[in-house]
Amino acid sequence: MGGLLSEEARRDALAGLAGWSEAADGKALNRTFTFRDFNEAFGFMTRAALAAEKSDHHPDWRNVYKTVEVSLSTHDAGGVTARDVALAQVMNEIAMRLG
Ligand code: HBI
């Protein structure tokens, strides 16, 4: 898949990604998901991990009890690419289904 997204392309992508914002340096997409409890948060992570592995594109994330802080960037490219937008969308869909 292609290279780094322009500032404009990132803005357009974020307009369709509920809950996501961009890091101050524009090099990552961030969202904190909040679930009902730890079990649901970990269920989200399990499903997202399988999707990430299938597409060979992996999140940076941190779980604290019922929250999961996610930061998406394409390490090989040094910033945000279409692969991050795609994974953000998949994570939103997984969270929606659990909610
Ligand atoms: N995940 N977020 C992210 N960024 C990468 O660059 C990346 C990855 N998962 C796997 C991966 N790269 C590998 O394909 C390469 O490092 C070989």
Q: Give the H or E element holding residue 8.
A: helix 7-15
97 CB near ligand 1 (under 6 Å): no
76 CB near ligand 1 (under 6 Å): yes
Q: pLDDT digit string (tens) for 59-88?
A: 999 999 999 999 999 999 999 999 999 999
In whole angstroms, give the CA distance from residue 6 to residue 83: 14
3 CB near ligand 1 (under 6 Å): no
Residue 37 DSSP label: S
| Token couple for 20 | 């996501």
Angle between the 82-98 and 38-54 helix axes, to the nearest 10 degrees?
Answer: 140
Q: Ligand 1 test: best mutation among 27, 55, 57, most atoms within 8 Å of CB?
A: 57
pTM value is: 0.96
Nearest ligand 1 atom to alpha carbon 73: 2
Task: Say if the ipTM goes beyond 0.90.
Answer: yes
